[in-house]
Structure 1
Amino acid sequence: MRLLPLCVASATILFAATTHAHPTDYVLRYDRPAKDWQSEALPLGNGRLGCMVFGGVPRERLQFNEDSLWIGDESDTGAYQAFGDLFIEFDHRDHTNYSRRLDLRDAVYSQDYEADGVRYARQHFASNPAQVLVFRFTASKPGAYSGRLQLTDTHGAKIVANGNRITASGDLRGFVYGEEERRSPDQPQYRVALQYEAQALISHEGGEIAADGEGAITFKNCDSLTILLAAGTNYVADRSLGWTGAHPHERVARQIDAAAERTFDNLLEEHRRDYQSLFSRVSLDLGDTSESSKALTTDKRLEAYSSDAPDHDLEELLFHFARYLMISSSRPGALPANLQGIWNESNKPVWRCDYHSDVNTEMNYWFVDAANLSECFLPLADWLDSIREPRRDATFVELGKPGWALRAENGLFGGSTWQWSKGDAAWLAQNLWDHYAFTLDKDYLRDRVYPVQRDLCEFWLADLKELPTGELVSPLGFSPEHGPHEDGVSFDQQLVWDLFTNTIETTEALGVHEAFRDQLIQKRDRLLGPQIGRWGQLQEWMVDRDDPNDDHRHVSHMIAVHPGRQISPTTTPELAEAARVSLNARPDGSTGWSMAWKAAIWARLHEGDRAYQLVNRLFVDGAKLKANLDAGAELDRHAGGIMGNLLDSHPPFQIDGNFGYAAAVCEMLVQSHLGHVRLLPALPAAWNDGEFTGLCARGGFELDLRWRDGKPLTLTIRSRRGGEFRLLLHEGESVVNSDTSEALPQQDGYAAVRTEPGQTLHLQFRRRD
């Protein structure tokens, strides 16, 4: 075992490209250990394994998860489960000069403090290449570590300590969502009962360690400690195998043993290279922040944030925190991020910690391609492919229709509970299509997108109902998560329009099934379209029943604005105005995810300052929420925001608000959903000067942009696939190719340039005074 240690002209403003001028310190900082799991502990993850770090001194808690530890089956959603904890007790207690940090640039948690004249330090990370969690403890004095390591399990596993390794091995037979007591193993509630195992291995320099006979390991007078943790289940994403494969013991042991043969520094360097290959693709500068704000710990910065004194570095930090969380909870080969990513401490979590399909799972993945993390999307496509067969069976049995649909709660094995929400599957298919729109990967389009689209179109072609007027509507639909079940709800209508439109474009891109395409075109053109109601609102239902005093958190009739493309100020100004009326009628304050979605919708309506109001609310309301948590007050389940550790709260913690915030920021800076690129479409006055690198546009383009006084200055375009780059210009604006000094051709307010695969273009913007 080797574990060791800006030029102004009279008629034209012209700027040259520069490097990022305002690097943000992407570090979360705190001056005391965490007490609360959801608002203070800090998350680590490698896509599949995750943990929450508390940073305790006399007793450290490292609560961990593995993404496939689920109960449920093809008939029942079940729930995502907690896995266990590592508890580490130390013999030093009183401490000073405490600091704990999470550096988003390299996904490493660090901590230091002093006790009894000794400086103690920790470094923790979650390695994707090695598939282990790594915890390192060092000190300024030899022999400073004495204490005890304990591995615990939340499902009654057998725990054995032997030498320098602790193993917890068990199964999920008899465990039921919402019940505290374990059922008899011979009376399982679910037809799928996964086996699981976790192993923790401790390595030391100096001193001695020993298994204590109680499933724990003691350590005495050690100079340093390194702990490795691996965990897994026997889940396989294959219905034909009953969703299960070989016991995970050999795989988990192999992961631990391979990591243990390497030095800590080697594991850390490999982890950094892997993580930074994704994270370092994007930078963002939204303006200046005062030095006094920068000096505060992250939780204090959140408390100090206000609409009168915004902290732009904190806004950038939250954006990158979303990218960090996505990299940490959704990597190729893993499962998609659920309601809490991969972090969960309960076996009966709120809303099952599941794949909620009436906005939440979709919201998780809206920003991924725009934020240059396309690889992180693939787990969602893989999971959707895996559940197609059980969903087809359930849909035929329960609804008597071909194809498939979903209820709103969805689990690992295709089980779906709560009530039918027929538009949900089409909404998830929108995610699938949008990933193609960014990447133009035709193999993915053919193998992952089109089969799902065909299934869902089959369902809707059978389900649509003809009105006496000849229009087609969804019968007895549901507008999440309120209102009556009735014909023609806007949620379904907009999503079916979107599904048919995207599938039509898929058949064109693949050059297949012309007759099927024609059928979809005919049916789409007969769909009941968006309606404007009696008070000028965009109707949520076919019947003009919208209440102007409705304060519900869901805005399900806004999908055509965002994330869809049926309604836009550019193409359908009257419908866009109706959407503004409806959205203004809903209060800004709500759950975290609801505020994030409303910000993205306002961005699509080109209302940057209005979107920024929602950004403000996320921070300000989050600070209030954290204060209530600290005071032990009862929480309003429909008043959320960003908490002290920057996790979003519904409440409780729900990760879609983090991901939705990042989506809103992307929509405020770049839009490309209408077949052209629009820069700074919803730039708020607060972000008047700034820059970004690495954000992406549909069509396979990666962009770097600098702007001043709300106008673009320079743009770098990296074309991945080649093709035409079409740019909507601001009034009085022209664009010059910096490499050739030639102006780009303009027509009807657009500039266009033909690109080759792999080509990089440097553009400068000129505008009349």
Structure 2
Amino acid sequence: MKKLLGAILCCTLFFLSTAVTAQHSGAGPGTGYRLWYTQPAEKWDTQALPIGNGRMGAMLFGGIKTEKVQYNEQSLWSGDNNWDGEYETGDHGFGSYRNFGTFVIDFNHTDVVTGYYRSLNIQTGVHTTAFEIGDTRYTREAFASHPDQVMVFHYTASKKGALSGKISMQSAQGAMSAANADGLSFTGEMPNHLKYAASMQIAHEGGSISVEGNNWVFQKCNAITIYLDARTNYKPDYQSGWRGADPMPLVKQEISAARKSDYQTLVSRHTKDLTRLTLAASIDIGKTDADVLLLPTDVRLKKYAGGSVDPDLEETLFQYGRYLLASCSRTGGLPANLQGLWNDSNTPPWAGDYHNNINIQMNYWGVESTNLSECHLPLIDFIKAAEEPCRIATRKAFGANVRGWTARTSQSIFGGNGWEWNIPASAWYAQHVFEHWAFTMDKTYLRTTAYPILKEICQFWEDRLKKMPDGKLMVPNGWSPEHGPREDGVMHDQQLVWDLFQNYLEAAKALGIDSAYQLKVADMQAHLAPNKIGKWGQLQEWQEDRDDPDDQHRHTSHLFAIYPGRQISMTLNPDFARAAIISLRSRSGNYGKNENTPFTVESTVGDSRRSWTWPWRCALWARLGEGEKAGIMVRGLLTYNTLPNLFTTHPPFQIDGNLGITGAMAEMLLQSHAGEIHLLPGIPSGWAANGSFKGLKARGGYTVDCTWKNGQVTGYRIRSAEQKKVWVRANDKKIQVVTQKG
């Protein structure tokens, strides 16, 4: 009977998922795969739209007479943060992520424009601008190709010979651009001896192209295609001094290779590559009214902030986060920084760096669960590249005989450690190293990459933990990030070290090695000073019971044990989970002051209204089984901290809100941290009527599809590389099922 029921459920799911795919094909305005607008962008951070191939990206404005494209390459950094050779220099010489440059096209358009349309398809990564002047329709497309490692800009007109204008190129670092028969280009060298180069070439149909000064002039063309590439000589290798070969030869080689393919081949190759990621997972959480679907994205966002119901916009937010991560974090490159990849400034907020006390981790909260596992590798490679400089800095700061390593809060691409030691930083990094294995079950990766990192970080804490008179172990001189004093046994630190030890023990057990050290780590974990419940029922943030119930601080660091950790849950230790609910309520301002006050989107106030706080609290509420409150966090982010181009703002713009909410929304639909697959653990009533998800991932190497109606699971399918037994919790029941192979 169970086998028959499973077959029925799988068939039901198959047909439903087919319908969902058709519904969200991205075929027109308003679908979950498209952002669109009726005016050109004026402001970079609020209106321009992003494309990226992981390494290189651009912000597009969709201008009419003047087309401006601002672009970045992820390794263009100033500073080196190592003037003393020991990587322990604080902010001295830290540097920042830099703007690479812009190119501008001045078209000879003079008449009135009608029918303007600007869009970004976040399924295919193709940006489109279209409009009419007289009886001529102008269409512009742009994308950043990962397979070909170039950005491509294609301009056409419905009338032959309708394209005329000039193209100029500017470096944001002071290099002079030059125009010749080969194209426009510039090269330069930063004060830190980082070399950079950019080049663009044009192919045209009909008409002519000539060089005038430092510009290209095109006359009466039917179509033009621009190929742009930019690189530095950065090499992610401490032993090589973080420098590699001169970048210009590779830039020219990549453009030359791309030009051997016609435009349709290039766009097809790019689309096939990106949709392999963007279509790997999808959610359907409700139906938006047809008249709302016809509205531009910025108008819909305003209506949503005014109280309208728009589940399709929430789906778009989910998919936008996946698109952005797939566009700024690809194999072989650097991880997403505070702005992902996109930056128009030489002095970006917080240097556009890698903050490891929440931000870089949040960037990757959805990477495994939403089926983008390969996009996790740049973060893991970044951690590996930083190990040796971090060892050097750690020994200088904590003693020459200390094993292992940790890091300061701010990190650069050159191994630099900037502002404020974040002593459990490496333990939090270790969670990501472990999670990649937990979701993929790749034992070669576990043995060669993850396990050595986990063990070395455990050794750091073996040397550093402080034994108290009662035999308990505490993290000395800890800090609840950006909040409160430094002291022993801060709960955030205690929870992170517990999580590290748990991850190490599971990794060692899976490999069947180091039994003696397993016993050592298990003993340390057992003796860690435990979580505490305070005088007003809260989960304490510090060893001393000093929490303020009126505190609305943006960080909820002492709740790490609930999410992204797994030390506390409603099933494992409900008393601590209930205390966590009280703590989370108290951070919500008006709602926290009186438990009888209805919890609404307006309840979260003050310092708690930050782009990245909404995703963390969304995930926390989901883990605590509070679906309504999790849904309110999604609404809060879209209402208060989302810009017209759907970038999230702290303020200012920071990418962690976009990337974090994707992981948090996945957590509302599927959880797997407690040794079981839990379906719909935190679904709000607004999503409950009818819905589905497809392609979400669970720990253990599982791919999960699910359908529901009226908040109850109606079907699910679980696949894995090999058939396995797994526990599934759905509709308040827990059963063991056999997965499908594939």
TM-score by length of 2: 0.91
Q: Give the deviation of 1:306 after TM superposition.
A: 4.3
Q: Give the deviation of 1:651 after TM superposition.
A: 1.0
Q: Name the aligned partner's letter for residue 162 of structure 2.
A: A
Secondary structure at 1:416 match in 2: coil
Which is richer in helix?
2
Q: Give the deviation of 1:469 after TM superposition.
A: 1.5
Q: Does 1:69 align with 2:69?
A: no
Q: Name the aligned partner's letter for residue 64 of structure 1.
A: Y
Q: Does 1:334 align with 2:333?
A: yes
Tell me if the contact between 1:677 and 1:726 (Cα under 8 Å) persists in the aligned partners.
yes
Counterpart position of 2:404: 403
Matches within 5 A, 1:522-601: 522-587=523-588, 588-589=604-605, 590-601=609-620
Tell me if the contact between 2:481 and 2:557 (Cα under 8 Å) persists in the aligned partners.
yes
Could you tell me how far apart the structure 1 residues matched to 2:119 and 2:305 are?
Answer: 24
Percent pairwise identity: 45
Q: Does 1:160 align with 2:209?
A: no
Matches within 5 A, 1:277-356: 277-306=276-305, 308-356=307-355
Counterpart position of 1:82: 99
Q: Give the deviation of 1:314 after TM superposition.
A: 0.3
Q: Does 1:48 align with 2:55?
A: yes
Counterpart position of 1:673: 673
Secondary structure at 1:531 match in 2: coil
Matches within 5 A, 1:376-525: 376-400=375-399, 401-525=402-526
Q: Name the aligned partner's letter for residue 673 of structure 1.
A: H
Q: Give the deviation of 1:116 after TM superposition.
A: 3.6
Tell me if the contact between 2:680 and 2:730 (Cα under 8 Å) persists in the aligned partners.
no
Counterpart position of 1:611: 630
Could you tell me how far apart the structure 2 residues matched to 1:712 and 1:538 are?
Answer: 33
Q: Give the deviation of 1:659 after TM superposition.
A: 1.0
Per-residue CA deviation, residues 407-459 of structure 1 (Å, 9 max, x unaligned), is: 11011011011111111221111111111111011111122212221221121
Q: Give the deviation of 1:160 after TM superposition.
A: 1.2
Could you tell me how far apart the structure 2 residues matched to 1:579 and 1:51 are?
Answer: 42
**Residue number among 724, 735, 739 corresponding to 1:751 in the alignment:** 735
Q: Name the aligned partner's letter for residue 478 of structure 1.
A: W
Q: Name the aligned partner's letter for residue 149 of structure 1.
A: I
Could you tell me how far apart the structure 1 residues matched to 2:121 and 2:397 are?
Answer: 49
Could you tell me how far apart the structure 1 residues matched to 2:190 and 2:619 are?
Answer: 40
Could you tell me how far apart the structure 1 residues matched to 2:76 and 2:452 are?
Answer: 28
Q: Give the deviation of 1:70 after TM superposition.
A: 1.4
Q: Name the aligned partner's letter for residue 165 of structure 2.
A: G
Secondary structure at 1:644 match in 2: coil
Counterpart position of 2:187: 169
Tell me if the contact between 1:43 and 1:52 (Cα under 8 Å) persists in the aligned partners.
yes
Could you tell me how far apart the structure 2 residues matched to 1:55 and 1:540 are?
Answer: 48
Q: Give the deviation of 1:504 after TM superposition.
A: 1.0
Matches within 5 A, 1:22-61: 22=20, 23-24=23-24, 25=31, 26-61=33-68
Q: Name the aligned partner's letter for residue 45 of structure 1.
A: G
Q: Give the deviation of 1:77 after TM superposition.
A: 3.8
Could you tell me how far apart the structure 2 residues matched to 1:519 and 1:571 are?
Answer: 24
Q: Name the aligned partner's letter for residue 298 of structure 1.
A: T
Counterpart position of 1:738: none
85-94 vs 42-51, which moves further? 85-94
**Residue number among 12, 18, 40 corresponding to 1:16 in the alignment:** 12
Counterpart position of 1:251: 250
721-730 vs 196-205, which moves further? 721-730
Q: Give the deviation of 1:307 after TM superposition.
A: 7.5
Q: Give the deviation of 1:80 after TM superposition.
A: 1.2
Q: Name the aligned partner's letter for residue 69 of structure 2.
A: L
Could you tell me how far apart the structure 2 residues matched to 1:77 and 1:383 are?
Answer: 17
Matches within 5 A, 1:707-746: 707-731=708-732
Counterpart position of 2:648: 648
Counterpart position of 2:210: 210
Per-residue CA deviation, residues 378-425 of structure 1 (Å, 9 max, x unaligned), is: 111111001100000000012213211111101101101111111122
Q: Name the aligned partner's letter for residue 752 of structure 1.
A: Q
Could you tell me how far apart the structure 2 residues matched to 1:563 and 1:288 are?
Answer: 30
TM-score by length of 1: 0.88
Could you tell me how far apart the structure 1 residues matched to 2:61 and 2:50 are?
Answer: 9
Secondary structure at 2:377 match in 1: helix
Q: Give the deviation of 1:545 after TM superposition.
A: 1.1
Could you tell me how far apart the structure 2 residues matched to 1:426 and 1:723 are?
Answer: 31
Tell me if the contact between 1:78 and 1:415 (Cα under 8 Å) persists in the aligned partners.
no
Tell me if the contact between 2:713 and 2:730 (Cα under 8 Å) persists in the aligned partners.
no
Tell me if the contact between 1:692 and 1:704 (Cα under 8 Å) persists in the aligned partners.
yes
Q: Name the aligned partner's letter for residue 606 of structure 1.
A: G
Q: RMSD in angstroms over aligned alpha carbons?
A: 1.4
Counterpart position of 1:200: 200
Secondary structure at 1:240 match in 2: helix
User: Mind listing any 5+ residue stretches in structure 1 that lack a counterpart?
Assistant: 1-12, 174-189, 622-640, 732-748, 761-769
Could you tell me how far apart the structure 1 residues matched to 2:269 and 2:349 are?
Answer: 36
Q: Name the aligned partner's letter for residue 12 of structure 2.
A: A
Per-residue CA deviation, residues 480-538 of structure 1 (Å, 9 max, x unaligned), is: 11110011101110000000111111111111111111110111100011111111111
Could you tell me how far apart the structure 1 residues matched to 2:578 and 2:435 are?
Answer: 25
Counterpart position of 1:98: 116
Counterpart position of 1:638: none
Secondary structure at 2:147 match in 1: coil
Secondary structure at 2:487 match in 1: coil
Could you tell me how far apart the structure 1 residues matched to 2:723 and 2:379 are?
Answer: 27
Secondary structure at 2:218 match in 1: strand
Could you tell me how far apart the structure 2 residues matched to 1:721 and 1:279 are?
Answer: 25
Q: Name the aligned partner's letter for residue 78 of structure 2.
A: I
Tell me if the contact between 2:671 and 2:679 (Cα under 8 Å) persists in the aligned partners.
yes
Secondary structure at 1:433 match in 2: helix
Could you tell me how far apart the structure 2 residues matched to 1:81 and 1:724 are?
Answer: 50
Counterpart position of 2:240: 241
Counterpart position of 2:90: none
Matches within 5 A, 1:622-701: 641-688=641-688, 689-701=690-702
Q: Give the deviation of 1:751 after TM superposition.
A: 1.2
Could you tell me how far apart the structure 2 residues matched to 1:415 and 1:722 are?
Answer: 45
Could you tell me how far apart the structure 1 residues matched to 2:488 and 2:181 are?
Answer: 66
Q: Give the deviation of 1:222 after TM superposition.
A: 1.4
User: Mind listing any 5+ residue stretches in structure 2 that lack a counterpart?
Assistant: 1-7, 25-30, 88-92, 589-603
Secondary structure at 1:50 match in 2: strand
Secondary structure at 1:79 match in 2: coil
CA 1:124–1:722: 2 relative to 1, 3 Å:
same
Q: Name the aligned partner's letter for residue 78 of structure 1.
A: G
Could you tell me how far apart the structure 1 residues matched to 2:287 and 2:12 are?
Answer: 21
Tell me if the contact between 1:369 and 1:377 (Cα under 8 Å) persists in the aligned partners.
yes
Q: Give the deviation of 1:354 after TM superposition.
A: 0.8
CA 1:679–1:72: 2 relative to 1, 3 Å:
same
Tell me if the contact between 2:692 and 2:705 (Cα under 8 Å) persists in the aligned partners.
yes
Counterpart position of 1:124: 142
Could you tell me how far apart the structure 2 residues matched to 1:368 and 1:414 are?
Answer: 24
Tell me if the contact between 1:27 and 1:102 (Cα under 8 Å) persists in the aligned partners.
yes
Q: Give the deviation of 1:309 after TM superposition.
A: 2.4
Could you tell me how far apart the structure 2 residues matched to 1:97 and 1:107 are?
Answer: 22
Could you tell me how far apart the structure 1 residues matched to 2:727 and 2:245 are?
Answer: 52
Secondary structure at 2:198 match in 1: strand
Per-residue CA deviation, residues 525-564 of structure 1 (Å, 9 max, x unaligned), is: 0001111111111111111111111111111001100000
Q: Give the deviation of 1:308 after TM superposition.
A: 4.3
Could you tell me how far apart the structure 2 residues matched to 1:196 and 1:722 are?
Answer: 50
Tell me if the contact between 2:365 and 2:664 (Cα under 8 Å) persists in the aligned partners.
no
Counterpart position of 2:161: 143
